[in-house]
Amino acid sequence: MIESLLVPKFRNHSIQFEEITATAATKSITGPAVACVGWIPFYFDVSELPECDLLHHKMAEPVLGFQSAASILLFSGNFCESGSGSDSPARFGGPAQFIDFLESKEFRGALALDDVELIVNKAGTPLRVSFKSLRRPGYTPMRVRVGRQVLTHHDGARGSHPGDVEDVKVEPESDGVTIRIGLRFKIGRVGELAGYFFTHRWAPSALITMEYRIDSSGQKTAKVWGSLIPSQSIYVGWAKRAQHNMVGNSSDEIDRFLDAGSCRDAPRRLFFDETIT
């Protein structure tokens, strides 16, 4: 089960593969924190968007004289950084500041691994790995505009339905360990009802999955996959290293997300695959 939605927190993990004796020659290898935040860019109006396929997509067309699905999606975006076209933070001061950001409720989903440590013996065989993990489905803001002022109610967090993408998995190898962690999440219930009115289909599930490998030579690598919506920012050592902005999605990518269908997993793409330090 996903951790309590009331207070964001890290979980401690320690997995021992072989007994560690007091006289054994061991080596400790540590790795940097890796995190991913899913978010929707906030715009006061679709007309403020830069030139992109979303402007010309059927989602941008008003329905029965009402707003378009695109305007509702972006107006319910996250005030990660204030102002129209808001972005996710450039960096966090550490895990405590990351937790503070999650408590603001201005995100759609978040994953993080921190304090990763691998203990190996003289031959480089893994003996134990320890780390902290965090998984949080986020919120869909419901915003009411009064002139240029915006009043916000954060639609309650929606967790993911059961599936192996939620599990924290640790796979030992002859010279290292791979940690896998994932999150499946959905738009808030009010937002989903509004989306159904415009698209005549229930929203698919968005995904973020992360793979973190650390080995006895000291090499650390990270991979992050995610659905094409929402936007996602990847952090290494709490500084932003890469980003996928959904505003840049092509019409085909928008359609592939929408066509995934009711509650099914949206297609994923690899957004990050790097050696980390």
pLDDT at 27 over 50: yes
Reported confidence tier of residue 269, pLDDT bands at 50, 70, 90: very high
- Own/partner long-range contacts of 85-91 (Cβ < 8 Å, ≥24 apart): 85/41, 85/42, 85/43, 85/48, 85/49, 85/50, 86/41, 86/42, 87/41, 88/37, 88/39, 88/231, 88/233, 88/240, 88/243, 89/240, 90/239, 90/240, 91/235, 91/238, 91/239, 91/240
Q: Residue 237 falls within a domain, yes or no?
A: yes
pLDDT digits over 196-242, tens only?
655 667 778 899 999 999 999 999 999 999 999 999 999 999 999 99
Using one digit for the tens of pLDDT, what is the confidence trace for 156-200? 555 554 444 567 999 999 999 999 999 998 876 666 666 665 566
Q: Is residue 108 part of a domain?
A: yes
User: Within a domain: residue 44?
Assistant: yes
Task: Classify residue 262: in a domain, yes or no.
Answer: yes
In a domain, 5, yes or no: no
Tell me, yes or no, whether 4 lies in a domain.
no
Give the structural domain span for 237: 11-275
Residue 85 and residue 41 in contact, taking contact as beta carbons nearer than 8 Å: yes
| Predicted structure pTM score | 0.89
Which of 17-26, 30-39, 209-218 is predicted with the least confidence, judged by mean pLDDT? 17-26
Model pLDDT, residue 133: 97
Number of domains in the chain: 1
In a domain, 89, yes or no: yes
Please classify residue 18 by burial: count the beta carbons closer than 10 Å to its beta carbon, then call 0-12 exposed, 13-18 middle and 19+ buried: middle
CA distance 229 to 54: 12
Higher pLDDT, 115 or 155: 115
Nearest Cα neighbor of 212 from 269, 267, 268, 132 is 132
110-142 confidence digits (pLDDT tens): 999 999 999 999 999 999 999 999 999 988 887
Share of the chain above pLDDT 70, in %: 86
Any domain includes 184: yes
Q: What's the whole-number mean pLDDT along residues 101-107?
A: 93
* pLDDT tens, residue by residue, 43-63: 888 888 899 999 988 888 887
Among 10-14, 119-123, 152-156, the range scoring the smallest mean pLDDT is: 152-156
